[in-house]
Copies of this chain bind each other. A is one copy, B any other.
Amino acid sequence: MEKKTKIHAEDGKQDLVITREFELPLEYLFKAYEDPEIVAQWMGTNVLKLESKNHGSWHFETTDPKGNKHGFHGVIHEFVPNQKIIRTFQMANTPFPPQLEFLEFETLSESRSKLTMQIVYRSAADRNQMLQLPFAQGINMAHNRLEEVVKSLI
């Protein structure tokens, strides 16, 4: 079955663009990125910090089935409610350097909205290594869960 979340990664470039249309009004889609409790639910993560503001920062932690903790964190360069978030993202304890992420949120209709997320990597090699992980499937599943969790709140 075709994935609803699309990843566009041009050869030789050090960025990629992820798009997803959600069956959710814009404000609800945005809450999934702004509200710590909703983030925790759809990402299945412990939200240790989420300062949703300009010059804020964030820190999440997941626990795998073996009980190992995996942290990821970053800073929030710009935060414009219902419009955009520009932030850094890094997985702790991995060789991957931080990446810069531009998230843009758009209304499609009263009940539908779209996320466009550009990720800029430190190098093309870093990007390509990330694409070798089960990245596309993981993000598509996470977005499916997002839609399900947020729909239950409407």
Listed in ascending order, the chain A residues whose CB lies under 8 Å from chain B are 12-15, 55, 57, 73-78, 86, 88, 90, 97-100, 102, 118, 120-123
Contacts and interface: CB of A to CB of B under 8 A. Distances in A.
20 contacts: A12-B12, A13-B14, A14-B15, A15-B122, A55-B73, A55-B75, A74-B77, A75-B75, A75-B77, A75-B88, A77-B88, A78-B98, A86-B97, A88-B88, A97-B102, A98-B100, A100-B122, A102-B122, A118-B122, A120-B120
- Oligomeric state, in copies: 2
A62 B57 CA distance: 26
A75 B14 CA distance: 22
A38 B27 CA distance: 44
Given A57-B55, A98-B100, A120 B14 contact: yes
A75 B102 contact: no
Nearest to A90: B77
Nearest to A88: B77
Contact of A57 (B15, B75, B97, B98): B75
